[in-house]
Amino acid sequence: VRSPVADPKSKGVICGLTLDTSEKYLALLYLATIQGIAYGTRHIVEHCNAHGHKIDTLLACGGLAKNSLYIQEHADIIGCPIILPRENESVLLGASVLGAVAAKKFSGIHDAMKSMNAAGKVVHPSSDPRVKKYHDAKYKIFRSLYEQQLSHRSTMAQALQ
């Protein structure tokens, strides 16, 4: 279970399911899943920033960094730019860095990383205020669903006593 909630008893929630089985509906479920992950990431970033950190840019790597919809939704929902690495095979790059250090081509991992990697494309949040308004409203619902879950859990625990 991810921070800042760190509740191993929490459950995933999909709200608003219908009996629709069309491709369009499946695509909307896929989008909602991406958005749910991004709302969770927004919660983490907000929590960190409220506790002394100053996160205003994210760096994405790995397989999902190749998914432009995933990255753009995260930028829009979190409200900060996301930097993609120039090299999109981060595992291979990491192995190369370690190999270069082991072969004494660099004095340390930090020097190898600085030399062998660089920022690539930067994905910015949408400048459309309607996008921000939409995600702010949806994020509020996202957060309230967990509070409802706690209330439901308490109700059921009392009923089972």
pLDDT in tens, 56-111: 999 998 889 999 999 999 999 999 999 998 887 888 898 999 999 999 999 999 99
Structure letter (DSSP) for residue 8: T
For residues 67 and 73, what is the distance between their CA atoms, to the nearest angstrom?
10
- The predicted model gives 149-159 an average pLDDT of 94
- Least confident piece of the model among 44-58, 79-93, 119-133, 143-157: 79-93
| Consecutive H or E run containing 144 | helix 129-159
Report the share of the chain in percent with pLDDT over 70.
99
Q: Check whether 33 has a pLDDT greater than 90.
A: yes
Strand arrangement, sheet containing 119-123 = 58-59, 82-85, 119-123
Residue among 57, 64, 63, 62 at smallest CA distance from 83: 57
CATH 3.30.420.40 assigned to 23-125: yes
pLDDT for res 2? 58
Quick one: pLDDT at residue 126?
A: 98
Provide the pLDDT confidence category of residue 1 given band limits of 50, 70 and 90: very low
Residue 119 CA to residue 141 CA, distance in Å, equals: 34
The rounded percent of the chain whose pLDDT value lies above 90 is 78
